[in-house]
A and B are shown apart, each in its own frame.
Chain A
Amino acid sequence: KAGVTQTPRYLIKTRGQQVTLSCSPISGHRSVSWYQQTPGQGLQFLFEYFSETQRNKGNFPGRFSGRQFSNSRSEMNVSTLELGDSALYLCASSITGSSYNSPLHFGNGTRLTVT
């Protein structure tokens, strides 16, 4: 069974631009959550989707948004990019309907660099 797939692996954007990241969960997994990983802040929860609905959201500004499609694939969008948005963005899926009390399967991440 294929693992969690994130595309693209690397992105370089300029301040003010917007970016869309994609995540395909493991087949059969319906919960998808997103995390931002930076050296200084560790793994920060962005949001979680289940059955195309956002179930929970972390403490990030409204520039960060996401959605989930009927096939459980998820996208994350960041608008008006800032230098501080440079990070590794990780997507994770879980087989149960919740990401907070069951094992997470992470993708390899998308490394975003904002210049």
Chain B
Amino acid sequence: GENVEQHPSTLSVQEGDSAVIKCTYSDSASNYFPWYKQELGKRPQLIIDIRSNVGEKKDQRIAVTLNKTAKHFSLHITETQPEDSAVYFCAAIKGAQKLVFGQGTRLTINP
């Protein structure tokens, strides 16, 4: 998506290892950073989000970190499991009231 760069586009990890996906945004006014997971053939679903007043947020095996100075935020998945295989999208605000998505990362967990 425009102005939200997401890397890598594909990621393959062994089951039990950690996965990290990084997004960079351009609008310094962005204050809300959600992550969505889309399993094959299904709708995107919010898995975690963070607001600019905190630097890190955790929910069981997933966490998001935010570096406002560098304008990047990352999704961390620990102890990966087969059901973590999906496409993950980050998003950030661009301009006036518009949410822009990254291009997505296809995560594959190898047994």
- State whether B98 touches A44 (Cβ < 8 A): no
Residue A45 lies at the interface, judged by CB distance under 8 Å to chain B: yes
Given contacts A42-B1, A43-B89, A100-B32, contact A106 B98 (CB under 8 A): no
- Interface residues, chain A, CB within 8 Å of chain B? 33, 35, 41-45, 48, 55-56, 58-59, 90, 98-109
Q: In the complex, A45 Cα to B32 Cα: how many Å?
A: 16
Within 8 A of A (CB), among B1-60: 1-2, 31-32, 34, 36, 42-46, 49
Note all chain A residues with C-beta closer than 8 A to B103. Answer: 41-42
Residue B97 lies at the interface, judged by CB distance under 8 Å to chain A: yes
- State whether B99 touches A108 (Cβ < 8 A): no
Q: List 28 A-B contacts (CB under 8 A).
A: A35-B101, A42-B89, A42-B104, A43-B44, A43-B89, A43-B101, A45-B101, A48-B98, A56-B97, A90-B44, A98-B97, A99-B99, A100-B32, A100-B97, A100-B99, A101-B31, A101-B99, A103-B34, A103-B46, A103-B49, A104-B34, A104-B36, A104-B46, A106-B36, A106-B43, A107-B43, A108-B42, A108-B43
